[in-house]
Amino acid sequence: MNPQDIAIFTGNANSQLAVKTARHLGLELGHARVARFADGKPDIRILEDVRGRDVYIIQPDGPPPMWYMELEQLIASAKRSASRVTVIIPYFSSGRGDRRDESGKAIPAAVDAKKYAALGVDRIVLFELHAEQIVGMFEAAGVEHIDSLYFRPIVLDHLSRHDLSNAIFSPPDVGRMAVVRSLWRKARAMGFPVELGLIDKDGTSSSGIQGMTVLGDFEGRHAHLFDDIFGSTETAVMASRAALDRGALDVTLWVAHAVFPDRDTPEIRRAAFERLANSPIKCVNVSDSLPLSETEREVLGDKLQELSASMLFAMAIKRLHEPRSGHRLSSLFELDGYREGLKEFQATT
């Protein structure tokens, strides 16, 4: 890949993910100043010539709101002279606001989709959305080229290295059941005799989750729980205990986005990590779509397993930058296409 034709930039949100993605492609991260003025506003300047180049910007857009502000200005700076600007958003922070559940409320995902449309980005690539209808919100807002990648092929690639002869798949909450059912079907198609279960909250109140309903044969099986987002971690921990109470041998957790309580509330955030660390969960598998600090990694210790999305993003960039290569972006939606992409990169390194 010719560095004269392509450039990859990022802000301060998750620079390590962008660095790893660039290096998979044999590139260095583009030079940009991403600082702040005295009043806290972002001070952004691209420090290299991008005239006529294919520019990719990799950045989760929150939380906190500053990450979106950095992304917005990086887009505006690149569009002044780049031939094309593609934004890869590892975590779309308004994803959980995909519907109006009370009168008098906006739909945050739709509001933010309109913001991106107004920026005039050539293409947006999202990763593991909370709800698939969000893609339609971007299209309705006027974003002509919008794609969504999935955590699924990364998870299946790693799952295939586990002993799944005595396993059961379940969500920790009914809202993720459709995704887990899809993973279960694909695992069965790969020849693994995996069972399907369901764990769901009985209800919540100011004092927390009231209890858990468990369906399925967990007795004597290795339980794998799948979710897209961490919050307080209370649901994941209670679901794991419910699985063990029903006879599961152990519990492994798979989560796409490490969305923990706000960094502005460090005590609450640390409590969420400690809740996971002290829980009976055997292993916590999470993507690097959002950054974790060294201290947070130390709290989780050996329980933490980070599954990088950087190779998936590198494959996406290669397919978008070289559309005549014969490989479609949609091939990365499934395990076979992801593994074929891994072979491509291994052959060039």
Q: At a CB cut-off of 8 Å and minimum separation 6, what does 315 contact?
A: 332, 338, 341, 344, 345
Cα separation, 257 vs 99, in Å, equals 20
Domain that residue 232 falls in = 152-307
Catalytic residue positions, numbered: 201
Positive or negative torsion for Cα 263, 264, 266, 269: negative
pTM for this one? 0.94
Structure confidence by residue, pLDDT tens digits, 230-246: 888 999 999 999 999 99
302 with 173, same domain: the answer is yes
DSSP-based three-state secondary structure for 253: strand
Are 178 and 290 within one domain?
A: yes
Q: Tokens standing for 305? A: 């397993």
Percent of the chain with pLDDT over 70: 96
Q: How many CB atoms lie within 10 A of CB 116?
A: 23
Say how many domains are in the chain. Answer: 2
If asked whether residues 179 and 49 sit together in one domain, one would say no
Shared-domain flag, residues 11 and 135: yes
Is the same domain home to 64 and 101?
Answer: yes
DSSP 336: H
Task: Measure the CA–CA gap between 170 and 215, rounded to whole angstroms.
Answer: 9
Q: What is the CATH number of the domain that holds 332?
A: 3.40.50.2020
**27 domain residue, yes or no:** yes
Find the angle CA(122)-CA(28)-CA(52) to the nearest 5 degrees.
40
* Residue 336 buriedness (CB in 10 A; 0-12 / 13-18 / 19+): exposed
User: Is there a domain that residue 1 lies in?
Assistant: no
- Over residues 3-14, the mean pLDDT reads 96
The 10s digit of each residue's pLDDT in 279-295 is 999 999 999 999 998 98
